[in-house]
Amino acid sequence: MNTQHQITNTGGLLLNLNQDARKIIFAICLVVCLMPFMSPAVALLLGLIVAQFSGHPYLHLNHKATHILLQVSVVGLGFGMNVHSALQAGKEGVLFTIASITGTLLFGTLMGKWLNIEKKTSYLIASGTAICGGSAIAAISPVIKAEEKQISVALGCVFILNSIALFAFPLIGHYFNLSQTQFGLWCAIAIHDTSSVVGAASKYGAHALEVATTVKLARALWIIPVAFMSTFIFKNKSKKVSIPYFIGLFVLAMIINTYVPVVKLISPYVVNIAKTGLTLTLFLIGAGLSRKVLASVGVKPLLQGVTLWIAISAVALYAVMHLA
């Protein structure tokens, strides 16, 4: 899942435009992202270009917009899925999920100590890599009383790697001739945010999308036990844990689509709208990655994030190819 943290950008743009011009460019890009020919990867790239050249004129609203739009889109995708095949996908992914989350958190903690990275920053990067990127960081950061800078660094690191994954994973999947089930499992385990998982899987195929979405959302529920565990690690018992309730609506959408025949008449339209919403979400995420955000990450946290990501991607790829 994806929760863009609010980071303002008041300078460093490559084009010196007034606010009205920036709003017009941004509005045109939004309309382009609604077109049928626009893919999630291209939308993300377009957002990155906007972030560097003209900037996001509504950056203060980006966190809330991406949060809501992603959740609504994921629930909409549930109307294109079947409960029985989703349960099968969930069974296949549960062991990989447990092993990868535990391994990533342990390896991330050791790396953070070795690189001498500030403890909370390192923990947020490891948690975001292990579970579901920005959503995990957003849920865990108040529990451990993380500061603004620590949250920004962790989110910046995760969003940079998500952007790379959206383009790289389908190419790697085709290179190794992964089946749609294998690719869906790999995406759900190795890509941080739900938005990028769904974007990459939808490019690979319909069944890959079904497997990836189901496994990823089941994985996202691990935010709850990890957040509770974090209260003991950082000795903080005063903060409430944010529970991703929208996953229940996703499951309800699958049940309705499976057992209520009349819904199948409108399901394709709902799914298409949901995919458009996801494309728009990725554009907004890209538009929020200003040079200030990219520069704020720093070398050591980025090195931790990249190393963790490569490790979990390589191990998960081997696992789905030889063990799944």
pLDDT digit string (tens) for 66-100? 888 888 888 888 898 888 777 776 666 677 778 88
| Whole-angstrom distance, CA of residue 138 vs CA of residue 55 | 24
Q: What is the pLDDT of residues 127-137, one digit of tens each?
A: 999 988 888 88
Specify the residue for token string 């349960």.
87
* Sequence-separated (6 or more) residues with CB below 8 Å from residue 66: 2, 3, 4, 195, 281, 284, 285, 288
Average pLDDT per 10 consecutive residues for the chain, totaling 324 residues: 43 79 94 90 89 90 86 87 75 76 91 92 92 83 82 85 91 95 93 90 90 86 82 71 76 90 90 90 86 81 93 92 79
In the numeric block, the tokens 């529990």 are attached to 143
pLDDT, position 179: 95
Check residue 143 and give its pLDDT.
83
Confidence at residue 237, expressed as pLDDT on a 0 to 100 scale = 62
pLDDT cut 70: percent of the chain above it: 92
CA dist 107 to 97, 99, 122, 288, Å? 15, 12, 11, 29
Alpha helices (H) along 194-245: 194-204, 206-220, 223-233
Residue 16 is predicted with a pLDDT of 83
Q: What is the pLDDT of residue 217?
A: 84
Residues 6+ apart with CB under 8 A from 96: 185, 189, 215, 316, 319, 320, 324
DSSP codes of every residue in 19-85 = HHHHHHHHHHHHHHHTSTT--HHHHHHHHHHHHHHT--TTGGGHHHHHHHHHHHHHHHHGGG--HHH
**Residue keyed to tokens 């003209």:** 54
Residues 251, 13 contacting (CB under 8 angstroms): no
**Which pLDDT belongs to residue 194?**
87
Q: How far is the C-alpha of 125 from the C-alpha of 137, rounded, in Å?
A: 8
Cα separation, 233 vs 225, in Å, equals 12
How many separate helices (H) and strands (E) can be counted in the chain?
15, 0
